[in-house]
A and B are shown apart, each in its own frame.
Chain A
Amino acid sequence: MHRHFDEELTELKKQLLTMGSLTEEAIAQAVEALKRLEAEAARRIIEEDSRIDRLDLDIDEKCLELIIRHQPVAADLRFLAMAMRICASLERIADLAVDICQRVVEMAGQPLLKPLIDIPKLVGLARGMLRDSLDGFVRSDVAPARSVIKRDDEADRLRDLIQTELVTDFMMKDAATAPRAVALLLVSRHLERICDHTTNIAEDVIYMVEGAMVRHSPDM
């Protein structure tokens, strides 16, 4: 049976995907600004975050409206409940891209402490995880979502590697490097948190598709 409700859910899905691609774009641009330490570019990205914030509010409002009007159950309810959670995760990811930009603004005007090697690896991991979790959402497919959850440990490992190197090779040897080292250390932390949020999205996708809660369960 055709339901008008299905068209509204499809429209909502499109809005979430728009928010997802804007968020991914924000991460990509933040990292470009970091590589070149371009404060102007970083400030532009910070300003553009308001667009993602607006989408966050619009999507939340739309979800609430659909819940009130249709009192959904089963797959419809899971979709709307998870859409609200995924929207919140994307908004947090975009805020972390803004945090990276703020680090760029702080470091601008000084040379980079070291060539970026592991940070781009962490960026690649984070973007891939975000893309796959959204892919799982669009196709209602748990396979990419499960692979995202598995990659979260790699993100933690890379962050630890970056932090150890910054502390032992720079901060402990030369205290004058501390401000720039701390900024890079925070960037690695922001990226690792982005991976955490994409993992949350992946867990939400699994619940949306299968109705099984995998949050806080180490064995998935």
Chain B
Amino acid sequence: MSLIEVEGLSLFYGNFQALKDITLGIEERRITALIGPSGCGKSTFLRCLNRMNDLIEGVRLTGRVTIDGEDINRPETDLLRLRKKVGMVFQRANPFPLSVQDNVIFGLRVHGLTDREMVDKRLRRSLESVWLWDELKDKLRVNALELSGEQQQRLCIARLVALEPEVLLMDEPCSALDPLATERIEQLMFELKERYTIVIVTHNMHQAARVSEAAGYFLMGELVEFGETGQVFSSPRDRRTEDYITGRYG
């Protein structure tokens, strides 16, 4: 069984059906990329994995999403716990207007971890895991908004990592970054997948081909194709995938 199992998932914004009967399994400690044109439902799908769509009014959902065998859409699900376990990185880095240190330990405080020694350990380990410790160990009290865009994005990842999640959801994490910064985030992803399951939504097909092991192509709310990245990008089974990835779409 996959770490994340999605069965017959459909999502409606009022009368509009944004996701149509999606079924797939996301394997543990791998990078899974979701690609597709704007408005195809890939980000909506990503948000289903930690119930971020709950924040949108008028959303209705059918089907099942289980993580570690647990149906995350049951009413008794503890959302704070779910989002600790399944963290999300957004298109634009969104550090809090606080110091580097406070950004990283913010979540720990929310979850009631106050032991000084433990907090310091997590702070260092989280910054180390995104290669920020050496860069920022003497600037822990600097306001996070003073960092470069790419450092801010890595800091946001460190903020999630501090909570020891299982899954990292990344919604176009590099779209605001230059090629060198993108390269660093991608290299970081390779390292992070040793410990976490990563699901990334990207508009950049070459990024999907570079970083992921499994890939899914969404079109108008439908999961047209899902498979091993090598297969999807060398011999896609569906003509629509072929047209999109070779630039014949539209």
Interface residues of A (CB under 8 A from B): 1, 3, 5, 71-78, 210-212
Contact = CB atoms under 8 A, between A and B. Distances in A.
A211 B206 contact: no
Contacts of A210: 235
Given A211-B234, A211-B235, A74 B242 contact: yes
Contacts of A1: 247-250
B131 interface: no
Interface in B147-205: 205
Given A211-B234, A211-B235, A74 B245 contact: yes
Given A74-B245, A211-B234, 18 more contacts: A1-B248, A1-B249, A1-B250, A3-B247, A5-B247, A72-B246, A73-B233, A73-B234, A73-B245, A73-B246, A74-B235, A74-B236, A74-B241, A75-B242, A75-B246, A76-B246, A78-B235, A211-B235
5 closest residue pairs by CB, A with B = A211-B235, A73-B233, A73-B245, A74-B242, A74-B246
Contacts of A72: 246
Contacts of B247: 1, 3, 5
23 contacts: A1-B248, A1-B249, A3-B247, A3-B248, A5-B247, A72-B246, A73-B209, A73-B234, A73-B245, A73-B246, A74-B233, A74-B234, A74-B235, A74-B236, A74-B242, A74-B245, A74-B246, A75-B242, A77-B234, A78-B234, A211-B234, A211-B235, A212-B235
A78 B246 CA distance: 12
Nearest to B247: A3
A211 B250 CA distance: 24
B208 to A, nearest CB: 10
Interface string B214-250: 0000000000000000000111100001100111111
Contacts of B209: 73
A73 B205 contact: yes
B229 to A, nearest CB: 10
Nearest to A3: B247
